[in-house]
Amino acid sequence: MNAIIRRRPVDLSSGRFTSSTPEILQRVLLGRGVASDGELDHQLTRLHSPASMRGVEAAVNLLVEAVRGQQKILIVGDFDADGATSSTLSVLALGALGAGPVDFLVPNRFEFGYGLTPEIVEVAREYHPDLLITVDNGISSIDGVAAARAAGLKVIVTDHHLPGSELPDADAIVNPNQPDCDFPSKNLAGVGVIFYLLSRLKSVLQQQGWFEQAGIPVPNMAEYLDLVALGTVADLVPLDHNNRVLVHQGIARIRAGRCRPGIQALMDVAGRDRSRLSTTDIGFILGPRINAAGRLDDIGTGIRCLLTRDPDEARELAAELDGLNRDRKAIEAGMQREAMVALEKLQLAEEGLPWSLCLYDSAWHQGVVGILASRIKEKFHRPVIAFADGDNGLVKGSARSISGLHIRDALSDVAAKNPQLISKFGGHAMAAGLSLPAEKLPAFTEAFEQAVRGRLKESHLQAVIETDGELQPHEFSMETAGILRACAPWGQAFPEPEFDGEFLLLQQRIVGERHLKMTVAPVVAPQQAIDAIAFNIDTDFWPAQVEKIQLAFKLDINEFRGRQSLQLMVSHIQPL
Give the pLDDT confidence of 404-421 residue by residue, as tens digits: 999 999 999 999 999 989
151-161 burial, b if ≥16 CB within 10 A, otherwise e?
Answer: eebbbbbbbbb
**Mean pLDDT (whole number) for 145-160:** 97
Phi and psi for 137 in degrees, rounded to 5? Answer: -170, 175
Query: 50-216: what fold?
Result: inorganic pyrophosphatase (n-terminal core) (3.90.1640)
First to last CA, the chain: 17
Contacts of 517 (CB under 8 A, 6+ apart): 508, 509, 510, 511, 531, 532, 533
Distance in angstroms (rounded) separating the CA atoms of residues 431 and 329? 20
Distance in angstroms (rounded) separating the CA atoms of residues 262 and 264? 5
pLDDT the model gives residue 350: 61
CA distances, 269 to each of 214, 221, 272, 331, 428 (Å): 40, 28, 8, 21, 32
pLDDT the model gives residue 348: 67
pLDDT the model gives residue 170: 98
State what percent of residues in the chain have pLDDT above 90. Answer: 84
- CATH architecture of the domain formed by 466-575: Beta Barrel (2.40)
Q: At what angle are helices 261-269 and 287-296 packed, to 10 degrees?
A: 90
Distance in angstroms (rounded) separating the CA atoms of residues 229 and 249? 8
Query: 353-461: what fold?
Result: Diaminopimelate Epimerase; Chain A, domain 1 (3.10.310)
CA distances, 9 to each of 5, 20, 38, 403 (Å): 13, 22, 21, 18
Q: If pLDDT is split at 50, 70 and 90, which confidence band does 512 have? A: confident
**Residue, of 112 and 222, whose pLDDT is higher:** 222
Give the pLDDT confidence of 175-221 residue by residue, as tens digits: 999 999 999 999 999 999 999 999 999 999 999 999 999 999 999 99
Give the pLDDT confidence of 291-302 residue by residue, as tens digits: 999 888 889 999
**Residue, of 110 and 157, whose pLDDT is higher:** 157
pLDDT the model gives residue 540: 86
- Indicate the average pLDDT of the chain: 93
pLDDT the model gives residue 294: 87
Indicate if the pLDDT at residue 1 is higher than 70: no
Indicate if the pLDDT at residue 426 is higher than 70: yes
Smallest Cα–Cα separation from 232: which of 314, 287, 180?
287
CA 530 to chain centre: 33
Indicate if the pLDDT at residue 573 is higher than 80: yes
Question: Which stretch of DSSP H or E encloses residue 287?
Answer: helix 287-296
pTM: 0.91
Indicate if the pLDDT at residue 311 is higher than 90: yes
- Lowest-confidence range among 273-287, 343-357, 430-444, 500-514? 343-357
Beta bridge partners of 572: 552
Q: If pLDDT is split at 50, 70 and 90, which confidence band does 23 have? A: very high
Smallest Cα–Cα separation from 190: which of 251, 235, 140, 245?
235
Give the β-pairing of 431-437 and 424-427.
antiparallel
pLDDT the model gives residue 112: 67
Give the pLDDT confidence of 118-148 residue by residue, as tens digits: 999 999 999 999 999 999 999 999 999 999 9
Judge contact between 318 and 265, C-beta under 8 A.
yes
Could you state, in order of their start, the residue ranges of all structural domains in the chain? Answer: 50-216, 353-461, 466-575
Give the β-pairing of 154-158 and 357-360.
unpaired
